[in-house]
Amino acid sequence: MVERALPLDETLHEISVDVGRVPLRFPARVPWAIAMVLSLMLVGLFLVSITYLFARGVGVWGLNIPVNWAFAIHLYVWWLGLGHAGTLISAMLLLMGQDWRNSLNRFAEAMTLCAVVCAGIEPIIHLGRPWFFYWMFPYPATMGVWPQFRSPLEWDIWAVLTYLTVSLVFWYIGLVPDLATVRDRARRRGWRVFFGIFSLGWRGSALHWDRWRRCYRTVAVIAVPLVVSVHSEVSLLFASGQIPGWHSTIFPPYFVLGAAFSGFAMVAMIAIVMRHTFQLGDLVTERHLDVLAKVLLASGLMTAYGYVFEVWDGLYSGNVHEIATIHDRFFGIYAWSFWGAVFFNFVPLQALWLRSVRRNTVLLFLIATSVVVGMWMERYMILTTSLYKDFLPSSFGIYHASFWDWSTYIGMIGVFFTPFLLFVRYIPSISIFEDKEVLAREHEESGNG
């Protein structure tokens, strides 16, 4: 018999309570406060870093010619990749009718939002003259000059903006009914006004539910190809150049898979942490983690295939420069990033073939972490190894991340966590009504069966 997403002894009301209490009577004040303070400190670091950056110029980073893209761009790819899981989980699994998603999608989407915001900041602060970033939008300027729509960078701007907006509204309309639930549970007037406003006066009318479903599914249907398109375009930012190691048709699928891979890992990490901190064990069950781990394994294997194929692609091309780049990735001075990516993305992952490991939260957490690290290295590898030795030996040069590279990146982690912490604090971080739906269905099944 199929394993249930939720335990039967749970009642609808308990779900409301379990989830609703998180915002209303916050269970984990102390750990949350600590986390918040830490992440605010990181935000401070970030602000200091970009202040210095804007004051002095992008030279404060370790960039040079030829390696004139490094941290900002590879982190842009990395953050965006982390983000994709949220949309995939909520949209794709919704369409596939995967019940287990309902306990994960809400905070997965929130994670997406935070990640996309970080991803959006990176390319703007990496500009030589960030105060002119708006020149990338088509507005009737007195200069009479327009943006250049053949540029992959132009594509990316629109892709990221669209993705940010879509993720936001998708997350929000899913949230409205739950905000209503919390509104009705709330005692203090402040809370009731707060949730009252953001639930827009949702009443759960059958007619509204009907429209809501159509709408939610429509958005889901569109969101899936969107994810694919967004990261494909990110990959085109590289593939459109003729630089060896970039100029390859494998890039779009390769990037999308890697993105999903790292994203699922991120979701797993967050799921495990929240499950422990907020005692949501009844809602985020072992089965959830188990399924998540399977997805992680699957996407990981696909990514590994991507690696193999990329190397094969280069060798098969017979192009001296491509082959040189591959050789360089294996043995060059940045080989650590290549082998690091291979190791962290592939080796620990294999443990997930074992059911026991999939259900062991600690191990799963560690494996997920290694994947996130591995993908970080992969993105770094793709940028530097291709740029620092491209065609002409007289132009080869090396790159070392400077202090400000690191401080900006580490600070950015705070920019990611601060809004996310606010979300888990003040907003039902698990979809209440969708879990109720599942539970009700299971009650029926058990009733009939």
Give me the half-sphere count of Cα atoms (radius 13 Å) on the Cβ side of residue 318.
Answer: 0
**From candidates 117, 175, 219, 341, binder to other proteins by CB under 8 A:** 219
Distance of alpha carbon 51 from alpha carbon 255, whole angstroms: 32
With contacts defined by CB under 8 A, how many residues of the chain interact with other proteins? 119
Q: Does 398 bind other proteins (CB under 8 A)?
A: yes
Q: Does 25 bind other proteins (CB under 8 A)?
A: no
Within positions 297 to 326, which residues make up the interface with other proteins, using CB under 8 A?
Answer: 320
One-letter amino acid at 258 equals: G
What's the min distance (Å) between Cβ of 401 and other proteins?
12
What's the min distance (Å) between Cβ of 87 and other proteins?
12
Q: Does 249 bind other proteins (CB under 8 A)?
A: no
43/239 with CB nearer other proteins: 239
Report the phi/psi class of residue 400: left, alpha or beta, with left for phi > 0 and alpha for psi in -120 to 50.
beta
One-letter amino acid at 373 equals: V
**From candidates 331, 396, 445, 446, binder to other proteins by CB under 8 A:** 396
SS3 248: coil
Within positions 90 to 109, which residues make up the interface with other proteins, using CB under 8 A?
Answer: none
Q: Does 24 bind other proteins (CB under 8 A)?
A: no
What is the 8-class DSSP label of residue 187? -
247's tokens: 């100029």
Write down the H helix ranges in 282-334: 286-317, 320-331
**From candidates 4, 12, 298, 369, binder to other proteins by CB under 8 A:** 12
Size of the chain in residues: 449
177/306 with CB nearer other proteins: 177
What's the min distance (Å) between Cβ of 365 and other proteins?
31
Using CB atoms within 10 A of its CB, is residue 401 exposed (0-12), middle (13-18) or buried (19+)? middle
139/356 with CB nearer other proteins: 139
What's the min distance (Å) between Cβ of 243 and other proteins?
7
Within positions 403 to 442, which residues make up the interface with other proteins, using CB under 8 A?
Answer: 433-434, 436-437, 440
**From candidates 23, 86, 177, 258, binder to other proteins by CB under 8 A:** 177
**From candidates 21, 26, 40, 241, binder to other proteins by CB under 8 A:** 241
Q: Which phi and psi (to 5°) does residue 137 adopt? A: -105, 145
Distance of alpha carbon 26 from alpha carbon 30, whole angstroms: 10
54/305 with CB nearer other proteins: 54
Within positions 110 to 149, which residues make up the interface with other proteins, using CB under 8 A?
Answer: 123, 126-133, 135-136, 138-149
Closest listed residue to residue 321, CA positions, set 398, 386, 241: 386
Q: Which residues of 275-314 are buried (b: 16+ CB within 10 A; e: fewer)?
A: beebebebbbbebbbbbbbebbbebbebbbebbeebeebb
What's the min distance (Å) between Cβ of 336 and other proteins?
11
What's the min distance (Å) between Cβ of 134 and other proteins?
9
Q: Looking at 6-14, 87-95, 406-414, 420-428, which segment touches other proteins (CB under 8 A)?
A: 6-14
Distance of alpha carbon 52 from alpha carbon 353, whole angstroms: 47
What's the min distance (Å) between Cβ of 18 and other proteins?
12
107/163 with CB nearer other proteins: 163
**From candidates 45, 93, 159, 260, binder to other proteins by CB under 8 A:** 159
Within positions 182 to 211, which residues make up the interface with other proteins, using CB under 8 A?
Answer: 183-185, 189, 192-193, 196-197, 200-211
253/369 with CB nearer other proteins: 253
Distance of alpha carbon 373 from alpha carbon 381, whole angstroms: 12
159's tokens: 């892709």
**From candidates 390, 405, 411, 442, binder to other proteins by CB under 8 A:** 390
Distance of alpha carbon 381 from alpha carbon 362, whole angstroms: 29
Distance of alpha carbon 184 from alpha carbon 194, whole angstroms: 11
**From candidates 38, 40, 173, 366, binder to other proteins by CB under 8 A:** 173
What's the min distance (Å) between Cβ of 328 and other proteins?
10
Binding mask 40-69 for other proteins (x = CB under 8 A): ----------------xxxx--xxxxxxxx
Cβ-contact 119, 74 below 8 angstroms: no
Using CB atoms within 10 A of its CB, is residue 115 exposed (0-12), middle (13-18) or buried (19+)? buried
Q: Does 31 bind other proteins (CB under 8 A)?
A: no
Q: Does 180 bind other proteins (CB under 8 A)?
A: yes
Angle between helices 251-277 and 105-125 (to 10 degrees): 120
Instruction: Tell me how far CA of residue 411 lies from CA of 44, 49, 425, in angstroms.
Output: 7, 8, 21
